[in-house]
A and B are shown apart, each in its own frame.
Chain A
Amino acid sequence: MKIFSFLIFFLISFCKFSFADEQQIISMGDIEFGEYLGAECAACHHQAGISKGIPAINGMDAEVFVALMLAYRSKEMENPVMQMIAGRLDDEQIGSLALYFSKLDPPK
């Protein structure tokens, strides 16, 4: 997926967090909690992983997921909806979501 390659590049280039931070956050996660929290994401992100106007997040690598959410939370990445959603997630919640979405089937 072109957009994901770009995002990963963007994050590796500019993000101040190291992968050690992401792994620490993922280790705090609980997959059942992630499933509950993930229902909020499913209002917009298509559950069959269709990427049309809004990127698919099913099957996303957990570290990339965490890095993206941290970038939205710190407002380094733009999009007011995502800044709002990420803005009220603590590390445990982000880790839980990352675990949950990483286990779903990626878009075909």
Chain B
Amino acid sequence: MSKISRRTFTGIAAASVATLSMPSISLGALPRVVVIGGGAGGATAARYIAKDSKGGVHVTLVEASKRYYTCFFSNLYLGGFRNYGSIGHNYYGLAVNRGVNVVHEWAVSVDSAAKKVNLGSGNSISYDKLVISPGIDLKYDTINGYSAEAQTHMPHAWKSGTQVQLLRNQVMNMKQGGTFVMVPPPNPYRCPPGPYERVSMIAHQFKKSNPTAKIVVLDPKNKFSKQGLFMEGWQRHYPGMIEWIDADTHGGLKNVNASKMEFETDLDTFKADAACVVPAQKAGAIAMAAGVNNGDWCPIVPASMQSQADENIYVLGDASVAKSMPKSGFSANSQAKVAANHIRGALTGSKVFDARYSNTCWSLVATNDGIKVGASYAAGSEAIDVTSKFVSKTGEDSALRKATYEESIGWYEGITTDMFS
């Protein structure tokens, strides 16, 4: 475990003061990295650049929230397997252990010619290299009748935080024997198995507290991640409770009415007592403001995660076009390490190793019934390419499924330590 020397710490402290009082003035010797977004991509990038440069790079993390609630495992909170506090994390470790200058503000624009990030307060921060890891924004208007206002009746709960608490409350308070409607998003979206793990976790909760409840899934797709595994699990653990209706069958969601809790499709109009609606998604707004997007997402150079639009900007995680790599916390964490190695090499001359990426997504179907899918990747000339992959199998024995669930708990502890400590 590296410790920051007194000399380095003084340097960082001085740099931090300078950042606040003279935001646009160069600090001289130390190269400067600014990271926008403190999630799986940004927090990991900030941590690795600071840790591995051992004080040789000044790292500023811009993140509006003082406490970060992970999207991964928020479904386990919905199912009653985790308490809300257990998925919350702060930035103490990055600031104190790693010397990262943590700024709790919104980044509102990027001046890429002047290499400055402008903050909501009116201050700005200069960078030599910028990392943008903003996660997703929701495209509310892709569903007729859905909006930022409607999300209070039909939470998306797709960015963790208060929305997930609201959804949990609505699940717990739904009338006995009522109908819950789940609308998953169209591809591409954050966490491909997430909507179906969510259905599983809500079914698990209903089985305990509302056993005659029904769940209707109005999917804009005709197939989904780990479909055979989820459907086997739904049949085994929640027989008769879940009805998954594919796009060809319902013909598309024409309209939602949040005050009446109705969903209009070609097939029928469905009335819900509680609902979760997850609309289509796009890269977080700061990526658009920085001009590193092409349409909804940000193309990257596969070998480094540099933006194709600007070699001094790196885009990580959900916001990037990583092609075969799913939009997941694990992917973002993996991409951050490649970018961190590349940035450190560019700024300090440290050795740059070949990019290697990996991802695993665990999902919980029921108590002690965990499944997983994963792959490893390498940088091709055009895209990040799959080198090998695996997925859990239907019909696995309960001991293996329990071990897979326990593995996911170990992973949660591991990755959150790898992001925040």
Contacts and interface: CB of A to CB of B under 8 A. Distances in A.
Interface stretch (B177-185, B242-250, B352-360): B352-360
Contact of B374 (A50, A51, A52, A80): A80
A34 to B, nearest CB: 11
Nearest to B378: A88
Given A45-B414, A52-B409, 5 more contacts: A39-B337, A47-B417, A84-B374, A84-B388, A87-B388
B6 interface: no
B238 interface: no
A42 to B, nearest CB: 5
Interface string B43-61: 0000010001000000000
A81 interface: yes
B375 to A, nearest CB: 7
Contacts of A32: 351
B413 interface: yes
B333 interface: yes
B410 A54 contact: yes
Interface string A70-108: 000000000011011101100000000000000001000
Given A40-B334, A40-B337, A81-B374, A52 B390 contact: no
B91 interface: no
Interface residues of A, number: 27
Interface in B398-413: 406-411, 413
Interface in B347-367: 351, 353, 356, 358, 360
Query: Most B CB atoms within 10 A — which of A47, A48, A84?
Result: A84
B410 to A, nearest CB: 3
B29 interface: no
Contacts of A46: 410, 413-414, 417
Contacts of A54: 407, 410-411, 414
Contacts of B210: none
A36 to B, nearest CB: 5
Contacts of A42: 414, 418
Contact of A43 (B333, B351, B353): B333
A46 to B, nearest CB: 5
B388 A88 contact: yes
A37 B130 CA distance: 23
B358 A85 contact: yes
A43 B376 contact: no
Interface in B366-402: 372, 374-376, 387-390, 392
